[in-house]
Amino acid sequence: MRRTGGLGTVAYYWIAAAVVILDQWTKWLVVRYMRLGESIPIIDNVLYITSHRNRGAAWGMLEGQFWLFYLITVIVVAAIVIYIRRLKPSERLAGVGLGLMLGGAVGNFIDRVFRKEVVDFIHTHIGTYSFPVFNVADSALTVGVILLFVHMFFFATPEKGNE
């Protein structure tokens, strides 16, 4: 049975669109105004804007495997859209999480298709640990996954089937 989230469903696509626009705009700024490797301190020893490129997945894994990223992204995007279409109106937290995930996936997909690399620029330090450089799309994906887990573990109710 197909469920629809009504007007709320459209909001999840707007969230995804906002993520893609913000992601692509910030990446454009970095590419346009910074040299590769250049770093601008925002908060010394904590937060920097660093122009970085990634030809792989998270932390550079599977570098150069574009066909794999294209395939995985198409499957993930299709699954997210199907899941969004099946959400109940009461499942807003899951919808927001899925919207963030959709926007993040599309944002990095655009980079892989048109740049053949992902532009990263948010560089944080936690104590002496230098966290790998990431971007708005990565942030949206991470927050989206966290929201989806919170929904599943704290708010989702098991479906009762015909037994």
What would the two tokens of residue 160 be?
A: 């009762």
Residue type, 90: S
The Cα–Cα gap between 117 and 132 comes to 16
Report helix, strand and coil shares of the chain as percent, to nearest 5.
60, 15, 25
* Catalytic residue positions, numbered: 120, 138
Bridge partners, residue 120, by sequence: 52
Give the CA distances from residue 103 to residues 47, 57, 131, 144, in Å, rounded to whole numbers and listed in that order: 24, 16, 23, 10
Q: What tokens appear for 40 in the block?
A: 């601008």
Helix, strand, or coil here: 132?
coil
Q: What are phi and psi of 102, to 5 degrees?
A: -60, -45
